[in-house]
C-alpha cells in the first residue's frame, strides 16, 4: 500500500528508532504486554522528562482477545475480529482484522469427488478431547482424523479419531483440503484455521458452548468456539450446541451433501483489510486523544498523559 514500516525487536530499540524520525511515524503498533511496558517506561513514552519519546496517542495495542489494552481507551486497541458484532465489552475496539487470502489461495481446492470420505477434527492437543469443555463426549467418529501432538499414529481414546500427530503448515492445509468438513471441539478459541478451511472449500462445524435456554436460537446470546463466525450461515458454517450428538450427525450429513467452493468472508479479504489499515493510518489520533483528555480533566477521572 506504499507505507514504509520498521520492525523493532524490543521497546528499547523502538525508542531509538522513533527518535531518528518522529515526525514521519504515523502509528506505532505493539502487542498488548509490550504496549503496557512502554506506557510504564520513562524512556519509551513521551513525557515532560522524555520529550523525544513516543506520544501515547500514536501507540496502538494489538490484543487478540476481547477487552481493551490502552490507557486512552478501547479505540486504541486493535482487534482481530469485529467484536462489536457479538460482545459489548469490546464494541469500541478498532477492528483491524487479518486475511488468510494470500496463503490459502496458493493451494488448489481439491474437487469434492477426490476427497477422502472423512472429517478433519480440529484439536491440536489431547487435552482438548479430555477437557470438560470438549464438545462431543460419547461421540465415536467412524471416519475422522486429527493432528494432535501426543500419541501420533494412535486412535484418540473414546473418539475413534485417527491421530496424524504434529503437522507442519503445508501438511495441515493438505489434510484439511482432502477432508469434507472441519469439526471444532470447543477449543482453541478464535483460531484462524476455520477461515483456512473455508478458503479451501471445507465447511466448518462450530460448537456453540453457551446459549440462552429461554431463547436458544438467539445468536446474540451465544458463545462458540469461533465467535467471529457466529453470523455465517450454512453451507459454510454449521452451528451445533455442545453435547448435541444428533445435531452433530445431522450437520455432518448436510455438510457431506452440500459441498462448497472456496469461500472467504467479505471482511477477511485483502481488499477489506487494506481499507481498514488505511483508516488506521490516516485517523487523526491526536485530536481523538485530546478529546479523551479534555473529558478526563473535566471529570477528574483517569490517567493523564503528555500529548
Average pLDDT over every residue of 40-63? 92
Residue 6 lies in a domain: no
Confidence band, pLDDT 50/70/90 cuts, at residue 287: very high
Sheet containing 28-31, strands listed edge to edge, beginning at the edge strand earlier in sequence: 28-31, 59-62, 77-79, 94-95
Q: Are the beta carbons of 139 and 121 closer than 8 angstroms?
A: no
* For range 236-259, the mean pLDDT: 97
Contacts of 249 (CB under 8 A, 6+ apart): none
Please tell me the predicted confidence (pLDDT) of residue 84: 82
Number of domains, the chain? 2
Q: Are residues 35 and 150 in the same domain?
A: no
Model confidence at 285, pLDDT cuts 50, 70, 90, reads very high
- Rounded CA-CA distance 176/174 in Å is 5
**Is it the case that residue 263 has pLDDT exceeding 90?**
yes
Percent of the chain with pLDDT over 90: 81
Residues 16 and 62 in one domain: yes
Are 164 and 252 in a shared domain?
Answer: yes
Residue 294 is predicted with a pLDDT of 81
Looking at residue 186, which CATH number applies to its domain?
3.40.50.2000
pLDDT confidence of residue 99:
96
Whether residue 112 is found in the same domain as residue 86: no
Mean pLDDT, rounded, of the chain: 92
Domain extent for 69: 11-99+271-299
251 and 135 housed in the same domain: yes
pLDDT at 220: 87
pLDDT of residue 151: 80
Q: Are residues 153 and 289 in the same domain?
A: no
In a domain, 307, yes or no: no
Q: What is the distance between the alpha carbons of residues 174 and 171, in angstroms, rounded to a whole number?
A: 5
Position 153 confidence tier, pLDDT thresholds 50, 70, 90? confident
Q: Please check whether residue 24 is in contact with residue 58, taking contact to mean a CB–CB distance below 8 angstroms.
A: no
Q: Between β-strands 59-62 and 28-31, what pairing exists: parallel, antiparallel or unpaired?
A: parallel
Contact of 59 with 38, CB cutoff 8 Å: yes
Mean pLDDT of 63-87: 88
**Would 305 be classed as within a structural domain?**
no
In a domain, 5, yes or no: no
Asked if pLDDT for residue 137 goes beyond 70, the answer is yes
Residues 56 and 203 in one domain: no
Domain identity same for 94 and 107:
no
Question: Is pLDDT of 307 > 70?
Answer: no
Question: Does a structural domain hold residue 95?
Answer: yes
Residues 33 and 94 in one domain: yes
> 165: phi > 0 → left, psi -120 to 50 → alpha, else beta; which?
left
Q: What is the pLDDT of residues 181-230, one digit of tens each?
A: 999 999 999 999 999 999 999 999 999 999 999 999 999 889 999 999 99
Q: Give the burial string for 275-291 (b: 16+ CB within 10 Å, else e).
A: ebeeebeeeebeeebee
Residue 91 clears pLDDT 90, i.e. is over it: no
Q: What digits encode the pLDDT tens for the residues 289-304?
A: 888 888 777 776 656 5
Kindly state the average pLDDT of the residues 135-147.
94
Q: What is the mean pLDDT of residues 43-52?
A: 91
Q: Are residues 94 and 139 in the same domain?
A: no
190 plus 229 within the same structural domain: yes
Note whether 110 and 246 are same-domain residues: yes
306 belongs to a structural domain: no
Task: Give CA–CA dist 33/151, Å, rounded.
Answer: 34
Distance CA 159, CA 295 (A): 56
The pLDDT value given to residue 189: 92
Residue 87 has pLDDT above 90, yes or no: no
In a domain, 259, yes or no: yes
Amino acid at each position: 500500500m506504499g507505507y514504509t514500516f520498521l520492525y523493532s525487536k524490543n521497546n528499547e530499540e523502538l525508542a531509538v528508532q522513533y527518535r531518528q524520525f518522529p515526525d514521519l511515524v504515523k502509528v506505532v503498533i505493539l502487542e498488548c504486554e509490550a504496549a503496557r511496558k512502554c506506557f510504564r517506561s520513562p524512556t519509551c513514552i513521551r513525557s515532560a522528562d522524555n520529550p523525544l519519546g513516543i506520544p501515547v496517542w500514536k501507540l496502538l495495542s494489538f490484543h487478540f482477545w476481547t477487552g481493551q489494552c490502552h490507557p486512552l481507551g478501547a479505540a486504541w486497541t486493535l482487534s482481530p475480529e469485529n467484536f462489536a458484532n457479538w460482545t459489548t465489552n469490546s464494541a469500541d475496539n478498532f477492528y483491524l482484522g487479518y486475511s488468510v487470502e494470500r496463503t490459502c489461495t496458493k493451494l488448489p481446492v481439491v474437487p469434492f469427488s477426490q476427497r477422502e470420505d472423512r472429517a478433519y477434527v480440529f484439536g491440536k492437543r489431547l487435552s482438548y478431547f479430555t477437557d470438560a469443555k470438549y464438545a462431543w463426549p460419547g461421540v465415536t467418529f467412524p471416519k475422522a482424523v486429527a493432528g494432535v501432538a501426543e500419541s501420533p499414529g494412535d486412535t484418540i481414546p473414546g473418539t475413534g479419531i485417527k491421530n496424524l500427530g504434529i503437522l507442519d503448515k503445508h501438511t495441515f492445509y493438505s489434510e484439511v483440503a482432502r477432508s469434507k468438513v472441519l469439526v471444532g471441539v470447543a477449543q482453541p478459541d478464535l483460531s484462524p484455521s476455520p477461515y483456512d478451511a473455508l478458503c479451501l472449500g471445507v465447511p466448518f462445524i462450530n460448537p456453540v458452548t453457551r446459549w440462552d435456554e429461554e431463547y436458544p436460537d438467539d445468536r446474540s446470546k451465544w458463545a462458540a468456539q469461533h465467535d467471529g463466525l457466529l453470523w455465517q450461515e450454512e453451507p459454510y458454517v454449521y452451528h451445533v450446541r455442545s453435547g448435541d450428538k444428533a445435531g452433530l450427525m445431522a450437520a455432518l450429513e448436510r455438510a457431506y451433501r452440500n459441498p462448497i467452493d472456496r469461500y472467504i468472508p467479505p471482511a477477511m479479504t485483502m481488499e477489506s483489510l487494506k481499507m481498514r489499515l488505511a483508516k488506521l493510518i490516516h485517523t487523526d489520533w491526536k485530536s481523538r486523544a485530546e478529546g479523551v483528555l479534555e473529558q478526563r480533566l473535566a471529570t477528574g477521572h483517569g490517567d493523564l498523559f503528555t500529548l
